[in-house]
Amino acid sequence: MLLPILCNQNQLTTTQKGIHRFLEVMFFPFFEDSQYTLNIPNLNTYIQDYLLFTHLKRMGGGEKIGALFDAAVRSYLGCLHPVSKCWGSLFRFSVLARRRRKARQARARRIAPRPAAGPIRPIVRCPTVRYHTKVRAGRGFSLEELRVAGIHKKVARTIGISVDPRRRNKSTESLQANVQRLKEYRSKLVLFPRKPSAPKKGDSSAEELKLATQLTGPVMPIRNVFKKEKARVITEEEKNFKAFASLRMARANARLFGIRAKRAKEAAEQDVEKKK
């Protein structure tokens, strides 16, 4: 038998070298009477190895070579994926990018002189313990924030303020921050009258209307500010502080709060009965 495989052995992986050794040892008895030459210059992928096995099987080796072929595929090549789809065959990324840019430009022209990025958004904390130190733009201002700022919820949507009636304020700090944000926005707002001939109270003057330009970026962008702590000497109180014990005690106090309150109430009632 003549079975030369013309390829650079240094470019083959350990698995592919094993496949070549498998061919030399297992397929030699089936081709003793025939002269067979296989020329594969760059055999460096599993697909080419798979085609090699398929070609040998097509030479008429019979059931034995078929069984050896199946065993080799399972051993060396693994299970071939049955799905033969072409993933990522979309070549219209630049076209779609231009379409989105033109749509943004058309929308900005349509809503001018309003801000192109849309209404103002509140400052909210990111969810989960991992990200709650960062702030981002929320969906809309809560009804409580609008009430404290003195803006009606129906009027807010008409002057570029987003409203989220489902949102609830869980801290005084976030409420005050968003109320201050609304007041600052209202002080900088240039409000066009619905009828230029009959302006109403709260509308901007004619001079301000002439100087008004459309804002292209986000309205009052939100930025994360991180304050660096200066290096200092550790105090004795901090050295003696037991963090783990303090956490366990706080958890125990929170868990036993109701039971302790119930016991205190029962003890107070018993004292009143004893005094009677």
DSSP H or E run through 4: none
The answer to whether residue 13 is domain-embedded is: no
Residue type at position 172: T
Domain count, the chain: 1
User: Which residue is it, tokens 């990324």?
Assistant: 93
Helix intervals (H) in the chain: 14-26, 46-58, 62-72, 93-111, 128-131, 143-149, 153-158, 172-188, 206-211, 236-240, 243-255, 257-275
pLDDT tens figures, 171-216:
999 999 999 999 999 999 999 988 888 888 878 888 888 888 999 9
Count of Cβ atoms closer than 10 Å to residue 208 Cβ = 12
Tell me if 18 is assigned to some domain: no
Structure tokens at 34: 């025939």
Q: Is residue 137 in some structural domain?
A: yes
User: 105 in a domain, yes or no?
Assistant: no
Phi/psi for 137 (5° steps) reads -80, 135
Q: What is the pLDDT of residues 20-31, one digit of tens each?
A: 556 555 554 444
Q: Indicate whether 150 belongs to any domain.
A: yes
In this structure, is residue 218 part of a structural domain?
no
Domain contains 51 = no
The answer, yes or no, to whether residue 50 has pLDDT greater than 60, is: no
Residue 123 DSSP SS3: strand
9, part of any domain = no
pLDDT beyond 50 at 4: no
* pLDDT tens per residue across span 63-117: 555 565 556 555 555 555 666 767 777 788 899 999 999 999 999 999 989 999 9
Full residue range of the structural domain in which residue 131 is found: 123-194+201-211
Cβ-Cβ contacts under 8 Å for 28 (sequence gap 6 or more): 1, 3
Rounded CA Rg of the chain: 38
